A and B are shown apart, each in its own frame.
Chain A
Amino acid sequence: MKTLLLHIRILATLVLRETRASFGTSSVGYLWAIVTPAMSVGLLVFIFSLVDRQPPFGTSLAVFFATGILTIEFFNKLSNTLLTSFSANRALLNYPLIKEADTLYARTLLISATYVMIMLIFFGSLFFADAGVMPQNPHMVFQAFAATMLLGFAIGTLNAVIASLWHSWPQIEKVLTRPLIFVSGVFYLPSRLPTEAQNVLYWNPVLHCVEWFREGFYGNYNSAIFDPYYPIAVSLGILLFGLAGERFTRKSRSMA
């Protein structure tokens, strides 16, 4: 119990330190972290509304894109930030209290909290601007957020382990995750795709997270492809590899 409390205190300290490090000491820095994703979604919505496109589903183009893009950005942010967490925090490890895994947890907590803020602000302002909708099934939105967080944490952990062993991994990972935005149903309705395409896209766990969000937002989304067990199973499998990898490669990392 005492250890757990100690661990929580370490995590809290690391989160605070991480906030200072990545957003600067001023509050404006953190504001940017929230505003940038919101603005990128806003720009996309603006471009699409110029072409006068109907949203693929629902009444609001903004909500449709935001459920897709914010989910992917959240996932990407987690997996990319965790990837560098071993190399970026090497100096911290001189403190015997802090272990490498702690930096993973701290970054996950900080990014998740940031994205909670981003989503609250984005969907809240859409709602007050009369351009959004209230989620029909709020509990599913929370589940979707948790699932995305788990997936990002799992893949980020594995990324960090691989990157610590193989220094070209960050570049290769970037190439591999680049098409993610196109295969995760951001711009289109996965349920309306031909069944052959659905069968391929099914293997993308991020797509399931996006669909999960939309199931939560829209009352009658009725996704033909969504399966909540798949992203969780993938996350748990990868998390096992990531955590085990972190533990068993600890020696070789500390020597490097």
Chain B
Amino acid sequence: MKMDKEPLKPAQLKPEDILKGRELPASMTPKRKRPIGVLVSFVLLAVLPGLLAIYYFAAVASDRYAAGAGFSVRSMEQQGGLDVLGGLTGMAASGSTMADTYVVISFLTSRSLVEKLEADVGLRALYASDLADPIYRIDSTISIEGLVDHWERRITVNHDTSSGIVEFEIDAYTAENAKLLADRVLFYVAQLVNELSEKARGDALFSARNEAERAEEKLAELMLKLQSFRSTNGDIDPASTAGAHVELIAALEGELASVNARIDVALRDMNENAPSVLRLKSQADALQAQIDARNNLNSGALDIRSRVLSEYETLQVEKTFAQQAYASAMTSLETARMNADARQRYLATFDAPFLPQEAIYPQRVMNSILFCIGFMVLWAISTLLFFTIRDHVQ
């Protein structure tokens, strides 16, 4: 209706127009045109896209089923929080398990997981399926990088930092596929956690085990040396042999002294040729001969004996040290093993994937409303911006 009036007005105002130059029509026409322009732009920028969005969500968008799981990465270190309940009560996640949780979170959107899933269940084919609507469908020849990008949009990861709980949700075009994907993802996450755990265990044990092995070798080597020493010298224990010699001489000397004393006593009231004195004298001579013989023997072999003895003693000391080292290495290996056991990680799954019954995505009504509001706001802002430029015409 206004369109009809529009051409008439300038014609009617012609006399004034001449009087005031071009100012008047310029200031009047925008006022007339504005409602129509605004209306047109409203239809073009707000109503039409809004309707398109509603149409898409009502008729085109394909159903997406979501399946997910919840778990937390736990270790033996936290006593009292070992069960699944511990994961739920929020006394979990300190230090290294926290770091492992971040590793798992990164893994969930990583290329390595996508490649595993592609090889395993054919991720590309699942998301390029005909069930997908044109906006969500991916090309079946998409590159792995593109697939990773797409995967990042299809998986939602939530991490509760105070309890260490990680939850993820994956959507797919059929309920079975959603569950299948969630199952496989959980499986690979468990595999990753086990690998991390094994590695941590191995690293912790490695040096302790090395140390124990070295101590054991050293000890065995010394035992062998000792054995060959004994067989070459024909003496099991040179130290005690030497001791026995010394003791023997000492005993002989003691006996000689007592025999000499008895000779002295006998000589007080007996003649030198008395038979008992003679017997004692011959006894003393025999003892002296024995002692001399022993001493002669010793002094001859003293060199060799002392060398053998010192060699033996060195070996003995080395053996004692090696034994102590071995014992302490075994103790520390045991401690390391206990530490490593404590450092073991495992995946506590408290929410295993279930088969979804209903397609919860897309949220058709909610999204339609949001899109309509969004377009309205955009239209309103662009109109207002346009007017601020338009103001300069006046």
Give A100's nearest chain B residue, CB to CB. Answer: B388
A99 at the interface (CB under 8 A from B): yes
Binds A, one of B8-16, B43-51, B214-222, B376-384: B376-384
B106 and A193 contact, CB distance less than 8 A: no
What's the Cα separation between A73 and B374 when bound, in Å? 29
B297 at the interface (CB under 8 A from A): no
Residues A174-213 near B (CB distance < 8 A): 191-196, 198
A20 at the interface (CB under 8 A from B): no
Residues A80-114 near B (CB distance < 8 A): 96-97, 99, 101-102, 105
Please count how many residues in chain A sit with their CB below 8 Å of the partner chain's CB atoms. 29
B380 and A244 contact, CB distance less than 8 A: yes
Specify which chain A residues have a CB less than 8 angstroms from the CB of B106 in the assembled complex.
220, 222
Binds A, one of B156-164, B201-209, B288-296, B331-339: B156-164
Give B379's nearest chain A residue, CB to CB. Answer: A240
Residues B360-394 near A (CB distance < 8 A): 374, 377-378, 380-381, 384-385, 387-394
Q: Which of the listed residues B105, B163, B380, B388 has the most CB atoms from chain A within 10 Å of its own CB?
A: B388
Binds B, one of A3-11, A37-45, A61-69, A165-173: A3-11
A134 at the interface (CB under 8 A from B): no
What's the Cα separation between A198 and B390 when bound, in Å? 44
B381 and A3 contact, CB distance less than 8 A: no
B377 and A240 contact, CB distance less than 8 A: yes
Specify which chain A residues have a CB less than 8 angstroms from the CB of B391 in the assembled complex.
99, 101
Give A2's nearest chain B residue, CB to CB. Answer: B393
- Whether A194 touches B377, Cβ cut-off 8 Å, given contacts A7-B389, A7-B392, A247-B384, is no
Give B393's nearest chain A residue, CB to CB. Answer: A3
A56 at the interface (CB under 8 A from B): no
A163 at the interface (CB under 8 A from B): no
A224 at the interface (CB under 8 A from B): yes
Partner of B392, one of A97, A196, A244: A97
A195 and B392 contact, CB distance less than 8 A: no
A239 at the interface (CB under 8 A from B): yes
What's the Cα separation between A247 and B105 when bound, in Å? 48
Partner of B161, one of A96, A101, A194: A194
What's the Cα separation between A224 and B161 when bound, in Å? 10
Specify which chain A residues have a CB less than 8 angstroms from the CB of B384 in the assembled complex.
240, 243-244, 247
- Whether A101 touches B392, Cβ cut-off 8 Å, given contacts A195-B162, A240-B381, is no
Interface string of A215-256 (1 = CB under 8 A from B): 000001010100000000100110110011001000000000
Specify which chain B residues have a CB less than 8 angstroms from the CB of A233 in the assembled complex.
374
> In the assembled complex, how far is the CB of residue B195 from the closest CB belonging to chain A, in whole angstroms?
20
Give B163's nearest chain A residue, CB to CB. Answer: A195
- Whether A243 touches B161, Cβ cut-off 8 Å, given contacts A6-B392, A7-B389, A7-B392, is no
Q: Which of the listed residues B102, B380, B392, B394 has the most CB atoms from chain A within 10 Å of its own CB?
A: B392
What's the Cα separation between A97 and B393 when bound, in Å? 8
Please count how many residues in chain B sit with their CB below 8 Å of the partner chain's CB atoms. 23
What's the Cα separation between A244 and B385 when bound, in Å? 10
> In the assembled complex, how far is the CB of residue B366 from the closest CB belonging to chain A, in whole angstroms?
14
- Whether A3 touches B389, Cβ cut-off 8 Å, given contacts A195-B160, A196-B162, A243-B381, is yes
Specify which chain A residues have a CB less than 8 angstroms from the CB of B390 in the assembled complex.
3
Residues B89-121 near A (CB distance < 8 A): 102, 105-106
Partner of A3, one of B161, B162, B392: B392
B393 and A193 contact, CB distance less than 8 A: no
Specify which chain A residues have a CB less than 8 angstroms from the CB of B105 in the assembled complex.
222
> In the assembled complex, how far is the CB of residue A154 from the closest CB belonging to chain B, in whole angstroms?
9
Give A247's nearest chain B residue, CB to CB. Answer: B384
What's the Cα separation between A40 and B63 when bound, in Å? 53
B161 and A99 contact, CB distance less than 8 A: no
Give B378's nearest chain A residue, CB to CB. Answer: A236
B381 and A236 contact, CB distance less than 8 A: yes
- Whether A240 touches B380, Cβ cut-off 8 Å, given contacts A194-B161, A195-B160, A222-B106, is yes
Specify which chain B residues have a CB less than 8 angstroms from the CB of A236 in the assembled complex.
374, 377-378, 381
What's the Cα separation between A99 and B390 when bound, in Å? 11
A237 and B377 contact, CB distance less than 8 A: yes
What's the Cα separation between A249 and B199 when bound, in Å? 68
Specify which chain B residues have a CB less than 8 angstroms from the CB of A237 in the assembled complex.
377
B392 and A99 contact, CB distance less than 8 A: yes
What's the Cα separation between A198 and B162 when bound, in Å? 11
Specify which chain A residues have a CB less than 8 angstroms from the CB of B160 in the assembled complex.
195
B392 and A192 contact, CB distance less than 8 A: no
What's the Cα separation between A117 and B381 when bound, in Å? 29
Partner of B159, one of A7, A97, A224: A224
What's the Cα separation between A243 and B106 when bound, in Å? 42
Specify which chain A residues have a CB less than 8 angstroms from the CB of B378 in the assembled complex.
236
> In the assembled complex, how far is the CB of residue A197 from the closest CB belonging to chain B, in whole angstroms?
9
What's the Cα separation between A192 and B94 when bound, in Å? 12
Specify which chain A residues have a CB less than 8 angstroms from the CB of B161 in the assembled complex.
191-195, 198, 224
Q: Which of the listed residues A102, A193, A224 has the most CB atoms from chain B within 10 Å of its own CB?
A: A224
What's the Cα separation between A203 and B156 when bound, in Å? 20
Specify which chain B residues have a CB less than 8 angstroms from the CB of A222 in the assembled complex.
102, 105-106
Give A245's nearest chain B residue, CB to CB. Answer: B384
Give B385's nearest chain A residue, CB to CB. Answer: A243
Give B370's nearest chain A residue, CB to CB. Answer: A233
A239 and B393 contact, CB distance less than 8 A: no
Instruction: Give me 16 A-to-B residue pairs in the complex whose CB atoms sit less than 8 angstroms apart, sorted by A's number.
Output: A3-B392, A3-B393, A7-B389, A7-B392, A97-B392, A99-B388, A105-B388, A192-B161, A194-B162, A195-B160, A222-B105, A222-B106, A236-B378, A239-B381, A243-B381, A243-B384
Tell me the A residues contacting B by CB distance below 8 Å: 3-4, 6-7, 10, 96-97, 99, 101-102, 105, 191-196, 198, 220, 222, 224, 233, 236-237, 239-240, 243-244, 247
Top 7 closest pairs, chain A to chain B, by CB: A243-B384, A101-B388, A194-B162, A195-B160, A7-B389, A99-B391, A236-B377
